[in-house]
Amino acid sequence: MPGFVVAQPLVFGLANGAAFGLVAIGLVLIYKSSRVFNFAAGEFVTLGAFGTYVGSSVVKLPYPLAMVVGVLFGTAAGLATERLVVRPLNDRPKVTVLVATAAVAIVLIPFELMIGKVKPFPARPAIHGVGVKILGVYVSPQQMLIMLALALSAIGLAWFFGRTDLGLATLATSQEPTASRLVGIRLNRISLLTWGTAGFLGGLAGVLLPPVTSNFTAGFGTTSVLISAFTAAVLGGMTSIPGAFVGGIVVGIVQAMAQFNVNKLPGLHDLPGPNSVAILVVLVGVLLVRPTGILGKEA
């Protein structure tokens, strides 16, 4: 029986998990402020990737500026979703808003296919250079950049919610929207802020993740990232930003471990999608054993 591989999937899982964590933090932000799960989050990622591609390959901008364009695409998608879809449904049941966010993804994916067709788009690394070896496994500068982006985002947002008046106001609106309005908190501005931030994080993930595999396709954020990010958010706790950080890393490692090792087991060498099966097992297990997640609690 082949040996169980640990080092390589551990390192690769950290990088992929960091990208999942970015999207998971965006999911947590929306849930903390409105108690709504955002099904459009995957397409914020895809639009970030498309924005970078358009900026670098079509408009021929310097790559750093193309990355900024990608992040702006994701941010704009978040802002537009809040203003055009979520805000008009503020007085409707939460499930209606949830379905509306799914409709955003359902509209965007065919639109992307109409423009880009069913083909992979190239995605080159943001940083070229010599990487480092961790546990004997080579880690590229792009993978290190993803992990750095997640760490900075988690620290910055934890500080924002814990130390700033605007962050505390955001938490207050999630608990008592009527009382928050009575003390002068403008709920529409808080909503726009959280959706814009979620779009920013999704766009950032869309800029950083595709270069790891050198390409992306239309709708890849929904088909390849959203379920992993949702599992990360649930695992960490849907109200915990540090939990989303931890959950993203755990999900990335679990996926990589399954991908590298499950097919080596006797009788399972033809098993399709072991990483997807592993994520499903983790998600169901968390929902059954600890629905609030590792660090989750009522906001």
Q: Answer yes or no: is pLDDT of 58 > 60.
A: yes
Residue 297 in any domain: the answer is no
pLDDT tens for each residue of 95-134: 899 999 999 999 999 888 887 777 888 888 877 766 677 6
Tell me, rounded to whole angstroms, the distance of Cα 188 from its chain centroid. Answer: 23
Residue 134 in any domain: the answer is yes
> Element (H or E) spanning 127, and its range?
none
Residues 6+ apart with CB under 8 A from 33: 170, 173, 174, 190, 191, 194
Rounded Cα distance between 249 and 17, Å, is 4
Single-letter code of the amino acid located at 135: L
First to last CA, the chain: 48
Residue 203's CB is within 10 A of a number of other CB atoms, namely 34
For residue 175, name the pLDDT band (cuts at 50, 70, 90). low
pLDDT tens for each residue of 6-15: 777 787 788 7
Q: Answer yes or no: is pLDDT of 2 > 70.
A: no
- How is residue 204 written in tokens? 């950032």
For residue 38, name the pLDDT band (cuts at 50, 70, 90). very high
Q: Answer yes or no: is pLDDT of 74 > 50.
A: yes
For residues 28-33, give the mean pLDDT: 84
Question: Please, what is the Cα angle at 162 between 160 and 164, to 5 degrees?
Answer: 55
pLDDT at 270: 52
Range of the domain at 72: 19-223
Residue 57 in any domain: the answer is yes
pLDDT tens for each residue of 276-291: 777 888 888 888 887 7
- Quick check: 50 and 112 in contact, CB under 8 A? yes
pLDDT at 299: 45
- Quick check: 19 and 220 in contact, CB under 8 A? no
Average pLDDT, the chain: 82
pLDDT at 1: 42
Tell me the pairing of strands 137-139 and 215-216. Answer: unpaired
Count of domains observed in the chain: 1
pLDDT tens for each residue of 187-232: 788 888 889 989 999 999 999 888 888 888 888 999 889 988 999 9
Q: Counting beta carbons within 10 angstroms of the beta carbon of residue 76, is it exposed (0 to 12), middle (13 to 18) or buried (19 or more)?
A: middle
Residues 6+ apart with CB under 8 A from 299: 32, 171, 174, 175, 239
Question: Which is more confidently placed, 84 or 298?
Answer: 84
Residues 6+ apart with CB under 8 A from 6: 257
- How is residue 288 written in tokens? 């059954």
pLDDT at 162: 78
Residue 279 in any domain: the answer is no
